Structure 1
Amino acid sequence: MKIAEVSVTRPVFAIMMTAALIVLGAVSYESLGLDLMPKTDAPVVSVQANLPGASAEEIETTITKRIEEAVNTISGIDELRANSDQGGSRVTINFTLERDIESATQDVRDKLAQIVNQFPRDTRPLQITKMDPDAQPIFGFAVFGPRAPKELTEIAEKRVKQELETVKDVGSIGYNGERKREIQLLLNADRLNAYGLTVDQVRNAVTRQNVEIPGGQFTAGPADVAVRTMGRIRNVDDFNRIVLSYRADGSVITFADVGRVQDSVQEVRNASRLSGTPAINVMVRKQSGTNTVEVVDRVQEKLTRIQAQLPQDIQISVGNDQSRFIRRSFEDIKLHLILGGLLASIVVFLFIRNLRVTFIAALAIPTSIVGTFTFMKIAGFTLNNMTMLALSLATGIVIDDAIVVLENIFRYVEEKGVTPKEAAADATQEIGLAVMATTFSLVVIFVPVAFMTGQIGRYFYSFGLTSAAAILISMFVSFTLTPALCAMWLKKEDAKSDHSTTKTSGFYATIDSLYGRMLVWALHHRPVMIAIAGAVVVSAAFLYPYVGKELVPDDDQGEFSINVRLPRGTSYQRTEEFIKPIEKEVLALPALHRVMQNVGSGFASFNVMMVPLEERNVSQQELMIRARQMLRKYQGARISVSGGTDISGAASGGFGGGGRGNPGGGGGGGFNRLNILIQGPDIEQLQTYTVQLMDKVRLIPGVVDVDTNFEPTQPELRINIDRARATATISSRCCSGSTSHTGTRQRWATC
């Protein structure tokens, strides 16, 4: 084998090649991303369409069905789901795994661009997005202090949010519980009638007279002068001077004649609290494909500087931090990787009992592992649970080739009496084919894992290739570094009979004797051994159904969420009344660090953060079970307790949580482990079957948080138009509907 011969005759060359491998690996390690799980681009595209005020039936007929018909002709669709709701439609398109997500998204945009004119006039622009695990908040904190809600909101937005938006790789920042400034235009219905004006006329007048229009430019001597019409309202009093109409005598009717202006804040429709204290909850999302841990580090560094510049009574308290669990998971696996390498080296020493020889063999472990980081960098992998698992598994494998080569070199020195340098090249060449056969037999086990089909194959792709790369690098090390070091460092005395490589040494002799007696007994009792082997195989077939099966086991992340959904149409005030006792009981749970709470109309979410694992005697799963038992007595709401992180690495709880979308159930794993789809033409019959099915599923042992995304429509007041009278008053159904919509809104013009 030429490479082994060159390594023995030119050991410096072999050492420098290995050193280059280690240096490249170390540099690659520093630049590798750190994540919980490998990144995968799930081929899922969602289409969101909003038509404020429309019923679910109208949304279904005028929007949802048209979207379905348009996109259904796109190739590669695996599943198409649609949800029509009060005021909005959501269509989710699942493509086959082979479909490129970018081209699929573009195909959806192209198809919908052809039918956008068929939607109702007031339909908002379509929102077409592809599924992105990075869209989940990675970091959350609360801003609180003894200030008015409006002032606290301004501090959170202008002095915190805007500063954080400048941090590298931060994607977007959202917040809950804000109370922004609002200019309210309050109309007097009697005065409107007296002047013969409608709400629409007032609204149109405000819209027309609150604009800035570019007027072009002209040349004045040596300069070009831009012209701009200054029509934007600059202060609150300007609203009173808006001209609505003219009287018969030519005098103007202004807004002050029919109403008044009030500089106020938004009506309370949502709130956020930190362990019961009013706060502004801020959520940070990263840019797609960036390193979660690095982004969080930059955000925390920036927050430290921001906190120093804020008033002393304003505090920032960190809540949700996805990087904490990623760091802990990575550090645990890294520790196991190091311990595995040390234990493998100790086992080698127990049999060889020579530090110099043990060092030569054990050097293959760090060299192969560190060298694999270079491959991971080239392949675009990150340091995550799957790649670190591959390296941990490879720790005990990568030393095998070096041991086989080293043992054969020892045999040459011991049996043939040649020098270690002569033995290194000849022994390696003799055993080279066997080492290659062993290595490639392992590689062909791991490589197919990387090419498994389905979504699971996406996650095992990096695992299989990383394992194969580490094993191949170990073969390279055993053919270069191992014989080179043997030629340089081994002594003839290392292979003498008084060392543990001989069968006469105490430790080895004991092991050899025990194994020999077992082998002799087995050969003399062949039927018994065959019967034992058969019994093991048969028992495995019977025991297999009783073994738990899951891809990602539940882990104690020290964080879970409680989501509460009330019937559609429940007011914010009623929601607050309902969750008050729940909030009190949640805050009384043991081992809590803090609770971030968001409340809105008909929903509430509690993001529960526990104290560090080493400071508590109750696990996350135990506390979640206790919370479920505690919340069973609350009737009239859908309550789910979820925790953990799904396989994509997206936090289940969602720091801001609490929307009225998908149920947040999912038990201990933090995501829906089983979804049942019920289809049929009659919505009322579907509802009946759904309730019956949910009641039966709840009886299954181990099932928790059974929920459905079906909700009754929101209570509505229906206004029937008298067409004759509407025509007589020079009105129309459209105008009347618009007037009722404007008149029932709590605010209809803001600046």
Structure 2
Amino acid sequence: MFLSDISIKRSVLMTMVIFAFVVMGIFSLLGLGIDLFPEIELPYVTITTIYPGAGPEEVETLITKPIEEEVSSISGLKTVTSIAQESMSLTFLEFELGRDVDLAAIDVKDKVDAIRIDLPEDAEDPQVQKFDITAIPIINLAVSSPRPLDQLYILTDEEIKERLNRIDGLASVEITGGKEREIHVAVDRRKLQARGLSILQVVQALAQENINLPSGHIAADRREYNVRVKGEFDSIEEIRNLYLPMIPDEPAVRLADIATVEDTFAEQRELARMNGKSSVGLTLIKRSDANAVEVGRNVKKELEALKKSLPSDVEITFARDRTEFIENSVADVFNNLIIGILLTALVLFLFLHNWQSTIIAAVAMPVSIVSTFTLLRFADFTLNMMSLMALAISVGILVTNSIVVLENIERFQKMGKSGRESASIGTREIAAAVIAATLTNVVVFTPIAFMSGIVGQFFKQFGLTVAFATLFSLLVSFTLTPMMASRRLNWFVYALAGTISGLLVLFAIGLKTFLVILGLMLIIGILTRTGVLQKFFTAWDRQYENLAVSYRKALIYFLKHRLLLFGSVSLLFVGALTLGAM
């Protein structure tokens, strides 16, 4: 075969090619995002409208119905569901699965903006948002201090929130709890009526006087000055001394004459407590395309820098850190992947009885997996539960191709052929069978990646990751495996493989597992030196041959009694269906 022959004859060239794949895979791995699940785009858009003080019936009539009628003509819209409750209207729009949600959200916003003038003036502007399962709170912080909550709220809002908003990857930082400053104007109805005023006149006067207006510019001496009328209130006394519009020839009326003006706090509808202490809560929400773990690390770095500039009595505590759970979950799957590779190598050694064949097959697995990360990066995948689970499942598939090639090469070596000749003939002889088996796995897993519906979005990365890893294992089995099998490996290769494996286990899984594996390797080495291992392999092969003989006899018996075989299989099949239905 062309690839295997080139690998055997030009071993340095092929080593550099494989090394290039590994290096690209390592750099791709370092650039991959980490998340709990793959990025999923749900075809939902929500419209939230706040109408303070309105009842459910008014909300439904004045807000919900006009919005429903306007958005119903958007293309690709599947269903519209609305909830009208006190002071708030919620409208859920479900689109067809193939519809681009970003474009759908833009279309919805355009429709809602077109009817904004028809909605009540007191209602807040409708908020249009697409439903994003990944744009969720990743960290909850609690800011506590002995100082009053109003001061703590101002400190959190003006300093802590402002610093956190600079972090790349954060979509928003929301504050809960605390006391927010608010000016209350309590109008005395009798005094208002006695002066012939209405509450609307008071509201209009406060709104008109509490604004800053641009007022053009002044040009003089080749310079231009912008003019701005500053009208916002600076103190509570200015509000109290506000003069209200009156009928001509009527005495002027100040706001303090008909109302009580208080500098107080807004009604506290939410409380935040941490370890029994009143605090101000911060909810950090990441962008949908951001790396959750990387954002969490940046938040922790920023908080460490922020603590140096905050007062000593202010304490910031992590109430919940979802990034640690994501990191631990992904690390657990990654560790299981490494353990799977090591256990596979151990089982290979148990059956092959050959260190060289075991090393070759064991090297083929991580090379295939690391190279797969290159395609994952180009496909814009992330390291999540689905993609890592696909790699873990692929370990058995990855080593199969190399084992088949090695076994055939070893067969020709036992026939007295040289290493290079055995590797070339052995690989060429079973190339078609290995390619067919590999493509069978690809054909099985690839359709999973293209399943329809929301479930298909979950399994897209799973199916394609298995297909990528399987194709790389085919490449490795036709290049690296025959190249290494054609030569007798010296002690340096064994030492290098052992060192790399040991370091990988030490840093990825931990010292305890490293010591266990090191102890196991020492035991195997001692048993090999003393000849005990060879005796064990002899007994193992004897029992294996006995099992093969028993299987051969059973196979011959059932081939002669096919009716009995068919009846037994049918009985097992019906029994399985019965148990499944229970």
The residue identity in structure 1 corresponding to 2:352 is I
- What is the deviation of 1:158? 2.0
Give the deviation of 1:312 after TM superposition. Answer: 2.6
Confirm or deny that 1:23 pairs with 2:23.
Answer: yes
Aligned to 1:465: 464
- The residue identity in structure 1 corresponding to 2:38 is P
Do the aligned residues in 2 keep the contact of 1:60 with 1:84 (CA within 8 Å)? yes
CA distance in structure 2 between the partners assigned to 1:545 and 1:304 by the alignment: 58
Aligned counterpart, 1:402: 402
Q: Offset at 1:434?
A: 0.9
How far, CA to CA, are the matches of 1:64 and 1:279 in structure 2?
37
> Which stretch has the larger CA shift, 211-220 or 113-122?
113-122
Task: Name 2:157's counterpart in structure 1.
Answer: 157
Q: Who is 2:60 aligned against? A: 60
CA distance in 2: counterparts of 1:531 and 1:489, whole angstroms: 52
What's the counterpart of residue 80 of structure 1?
A: 80
Map 1:649-664 to 2 at 5 A.
none
Distance 1:277 1:319 in 2: 13
- The residue number in structure 2 matching 1:542 is 578
In 1: Cα distance, 2:280 partner to 2:113 partner: 38
Q: 1:357, 1:490 within 8 Å by CA — same for their partners in 2?
A: no
Percent of aligned positions that are identical: 35
Counterpart of 2:378, as a letter, is I
Describe the SS at the equivalent of 2:424.
Answer: helix
Contact 1:349 1:355 (8 Å CA) reproduced: yes
Amino acid at match of 1:540: A
Cα shift at 1:199: 1.9
User: What amino acid is aligned across from residue 330 of structure 1 in structure 2?
Assistant: V
> Are residues 239 and 67 of structure 1, via their aligned partners in 2, closer, same or farther at CA, if it must alter by over 3 Å?
closer
- Aligned-partner SS, 1:267: coil
Q: CA deviation at 1:298?
A: 0.8
**Match among 523, 535, 542 for residue 509 of structure 1:** 542
Q: Which residue of 2 aligns with 1:184?
A: 184
**Gap change, CA 1:336 and 1:94, over 3 Å in 2:** same
What is the distance in 1 between the residues matched to 2:250 and 2:51? 40
Equivalent residue, structure 2, for 1:227: 227
**Aligned-partner residue type, residue 514 of structure 1:** L
- Please show how residues 281-680 of structure 1 align to structure 2 within 5 Å: 281-415=281-415, 417-489=416-488, 505-525=538-558, 526=561, 527-546=563-582
Distance 2:328 2:573 in 1: 38
Task: Find the aligned partners of 2:259 and 2:49 in 1 and give their Cα distance.
Answer: 35
The superposition leaves residues 646-702 of structure 1 with CA deviations (integer Å, 9 ceiling, x where unpaired) of: xxxxxxxxxxxxxxxxxxxxxxxxxxxxxxxxxxxxxxxxxxxxxxxxxxxxxxxxx
Following the alignment from structure 1 to structure 2, what is the Cα–Cα distance between the partners of residues 325 and 398?
29
String of CA shifts for 1:258-316, please: whole Å, max 9, x gaps. Answer: 23432222233322212332111110011221011111111112112223333232211
- Is the CA contact (8 Å cut-off) linking 1:522 and 1:529 kept in structure 2? no
Deviation, structure 1 residue 86: 1.6
Q: CA contact under 8 A between 2:7 and 2:14: conserved in structure 1?
A: yes
Distance 2:207 2:125 in 1: 20
CA deviations on 1:177-215 (whole Å, 9 max, x unpaired) are 120122222333333233222222122111111222111
Secondary structure in 1 aligned to 2:54?
coil
- The answer (yes or no) to whether the contact 1:150–1:178 under 8 Å persists in 2 is yes
- Greater helix share, structure number: 2
Asked if structure 2 preserves the Cα contact closer than 8 Å seen for 1:424 and 1:483, the reply is yes
In structure 2, how many angstroms separate the alpha carbons of the residues matched to 1:542 and 1:75?
48
1:313/1:244 CA distance change after superposition, 3 Å:
same
Q: Name the CA distance, whole Å, in 2 between partners of 1:51 and 1:404.
A: 71
Q: 1:46 Cα deviation (Å)?
A: 1.3
Partner Cα separation in structure 2 for residue 154 and residue 490 of structure 1 = 70
Q: Is the 8 A contact 1:144 1:152 kept in 2?
A: yes
Q: Mark the runs of 5 or more structure 2 residues left unpaired by the alignment.
A: 491-530
- Distance in 2 separating the partners of 1:180 and 1:486: 74
Any idea what SS the aligned residue of 1:270 has? coil
C-alpha separation in 1, matches of 2:75 and 2:268: 46
CA deviation profile, 1:206-259 (whole Å, cap 9, x unmatched): 111122211111211121121111222222221122111357656532223223
Paired with 1:116 and 1:312, the residues of 2 have a C-alpha distance of: 48
Quote the offset at 1:147 in angstroms.
1.6
Offset from partner CA, 1:467-519 (integer Å, 9 cap, x none): 0110110000011111111123269xxxxxx9x99xx9432232122132133
1: distance between equivalents of 2:60 and 2:245?
40
User: Which residue does the alignment assign to 2:32?
Assistant: 32
Alignment CA distance shift 1:490-1:30 (3 Å): closer
User: Which letter maps to 1:535?
Assistant: L
Match of 1:125 in 2: 125
User: Residues of 1 paired with 2:245 and 2:67: CA distance?
Assistant: 43
Q: Bigger CA drift: 7-16 or 297-306? A: 297-306
Q: 1:279 aligns to what SS in structure 2?
A: strand
1:354-379 residue CA offsets vs partner (Å, 9 max, x unmatched): 22221112111000111111110000
The one-letter amino acid of 2:551's match is: M
Alpha-carbon distance in structure 2 between the residues aligned to 1:410 and 1:218: 94
Per-residue CA deviations over 1:539-559 (Å, capped at 9, x if unaligned) read 22222245xxxxxxxxxxxxx
Q: Which has the higher relative contact order, 1 or 2, with Cα contacts under 8 A spaced 6 or more apart?
A: 2
Please report how far the alpha carbon of residue 352 of structure 1 lies from its aligned counterpart in structure 2 after TM superposition.
Answer: 1.7
Shift of 1:462: 0.6
Mapped to 2, the partners of 1:386 and 1:401 lie a distance apart of 24
CA separation in 1, counterparts of 2:431 and 2:248? 108
**CA-CA distance at 1:113 after TM superposition:** 4.3
Partner of 2:141: 141
47-56 or 224-233, which moves further after superposition?
47-56
TM-score with structure 1 setting the length: 0.69
CA contact (8 A) 1:164 1:299 kept: yes
1:392 Cα deviation after fit? 0.2
Number of residue equivalences: 539
RMSD over aligned CA atoms reads 2.4
Give the 3-state SS of the residue equivalent to 1:363 in structure 2.
helix
Q: By how many angstroms is 1:390 displaced?
A: 0.3
Structure 1 residue matching 2:458: 3-state secondary structure: helix
Give the Cα–Cα distance (whole angstroms) in 2 for the partners of residues 118 and 234 of structure 1: 34
Preserved CA contact (<8 Å) 1:60 1:89? yes
What is the CA distance between 1:106 and its match in structure 2?
2.9
Q: State the shift of 1:108 in Å.
A: 2.4
Output one character per residue of 1:70-115: Cα deviation in whole Å (capped at 9) or x when no partner. Answer: 3333333333211111222211111121122123223323444444
| CA distance 1:121–1:263, change in 2 (3 Å) | closer
User: Which secondary structure does the structure 1 equivalent of 2:41 belong to?
Assistant: coil
Q: Does the 8 Å contact 2:39/2:134 carry over to 1?
A: no
Cα deviation, residue 15, structure 1: 0.9
In the other structure, the counterpart of 2:209 is 209
CA distance in 2, matches of 1:90, 1:383: 35
Q: Secondary structure at the match of 2:226?
A: strand
* Preserved CA contact (<8 Å) 1:215 1:227: yes
Q: 1:450 to 1:157 in 2, by over 3 A?
A: same
